Structure 1
Amino acid sequence: MAKKRTKQPWMAADDFGRSLPRGIGVNLLVREIAPMEAFCRDVLGAQIIYADEDFAAIQLLGSVFMLHADHSYLNNPMTGVITGVETRGAGLEIRLYGADPDRIEVMARKLDHIVLAGSVDKPHGIRECHIVGPDGYVFVPSLAIAG
Structure 2
Amino acid sequence: MTKKRPEDQTPFMSAPDYGRSLKGMGINLLVREVPRAVAFAQAVLGARLVYGDPDFAVLRHGTGDNQAEWMLHADHTYGTHPLLSLTGDGAVRGAGVELRLHGCDPDAAVARAEAAGHYVMAKAADKPHGLREAYIADPDGYVWVPDVPLR
TM range (shorter): over 0.9
Stretches of structure 2 that go unaligned for 5 or more consecutive residues are none
| Deviation at residue 75 of structure 1 after TM alignment | 2.4
| Deviation at residue 77 of structure 1 after TM alignment | 2.4
| Deviation at residue 87 of structure 1 after TM alignment | 1.7
Residue 17 (structure 1) aligns with: 19
Stretches of structure 1 that go unaligned for 5 or more consecutive residues are none
Superposition pairs of residues 1-147 of structure 1, within 5 angstroms = 1-6=1-6, 7-21=9-23, 23-61=24-62, 62-146=67-151
Q: Is the 8 A contact 2:68 2:101 kept in 1?
A: no
Q: Aligned residues: percent identity?
A: 48
Partners in 1 of 2:131 and 2:11 — Cα distance? 39
Partners in 1 of 2:84 and 2:47 — Cα distance? 27
Stretches of 4+ aligned residues off by more than 3 angstroms:
none
Give the SS at the match of 1:2: coil
Quick one: which amino acid aligns to residue 38 of structure 1? Answer: A
User: What is the total number of aligned residue pairs between the two structures?
Assistant: 145
Partners in 2 of 1:72 and 1:116 — Cα distance? 30
